[in-house]
Amino acid sequence: MTSPKGLQADGLKYAKTIFETVRRMSADTLGVTRQGYSALESDVLDYLQGLGRDLELEISADRAGNVWMTLPGRDRSLPAFVAGSHVDSVPQGGNYDGLAGVTAALTVAWWMRRQNFQPLRDYTVLMMRCEESSFFGKAYVGSLGMMGLLKPSDMMLSHRTQNLTLGQAISSCGLDPNDLTTGKPVVDLSRIAAFVELHIEQGPTLTSNEDIRVGVVTGIRGNVRHKKVICRGQTAHSGAVNKEFRHDAVMAAAALLNTMENRWQEWLDKGEDLVFTVGVIKTGETAAISVIPGEVSFTVDMRSLSADTCERFHTLLLEEAAKLEAERGVRFEFDKPLYTAPGHVDPALSDRLSDAADANGIPCMRLPSGAGHDAAVIGGCGIPVAMIFIANQNGSHNPYEEMQMKDFMIGTDLLWHTVKAYD
146 vs 377: CA distance, rounded Å? 10
Shortest separation between residue 97's beta carbon and Zn ion, angstroms: 4
The DSSP bridge pattern shows strands 80-86 and 123-128 to be parallel
Nearer Cβ to Zn ion (64/230): 64
End-to-end CA distance of the chain: 16
> Among residues 97 and 122, whose Cβ is nearest to Zn ion?
97
Q: How many residues bind Zn ion (CB under 5 A)?
A: 2
When asked if residue 36 is in the footprint of Zn ion (CB under 5 A), the reply is no
- Shortest Å distance, C-beta 96 to Zn ion: 9
Cβ closer to Zn ion: 73 or 101?
A: 101
Give the C-alpha separation, 150 to 144, whole Å.
6
Nearer to Zn ion, 220 or 383 (CB): 220
| Closest among 109, 83, 136, 331 to 229, alpha carbons compared | 331
CA angle 158, 62, 28 (to 5 degrees): 50
Judge contact between 410 and 364, C-beta under 8 A. no
Nearer to Zn ion, 216 or 376 (CB): 376
Closest distance of CB 88 from Zn ion, Å: 9
| CB of 98 vs Zn ion, minimal distance in Å | 4
Question: Closer CB to Zn ion, residue 92 or residue 235?
Answer: 92
C-alpha of 303 from chain center: 13
Closest CB to Zn ion among residues 198, 256: 198
Please calculate the CA angle 381-382-386 and round it to the nearest 5 degrees: 100
Q: At what angle do helices 99-114 and 39-54 cross, to 10 degrees?
A: 10
* Nearest to Zn ion of 122, 407 (CB atom): 407
Cα separation, 67 vs 332, in Å, equals 48
> CB of residue 65 vs Zn ion: minimum separation in angstroms?
17
Per CB under 5 A, which of residues 55..114 are in contact with Zn ion? Answer: 97-98
CA distance 265 to 260: 9
User: Beta-carbon neighbour count of residue 376 at 10 Å?
Assistant: 26
The contacts of residue 162 (CB under 8 Å, 6+ apart) are none
Write down the least CB distance from residue 152 to Zn ion, Å.
Answer: 26
What are the E-state strand segments in 157-268? 192-200, 214-220, 222-232, 236-237
CB of 100 to Zn ion, least distance (A): 9
> Min. distance of Cβ 203 from Zn ion in angstroms?
12
Where does this chain bind Zn ion (CB under 5 A)? 97-98
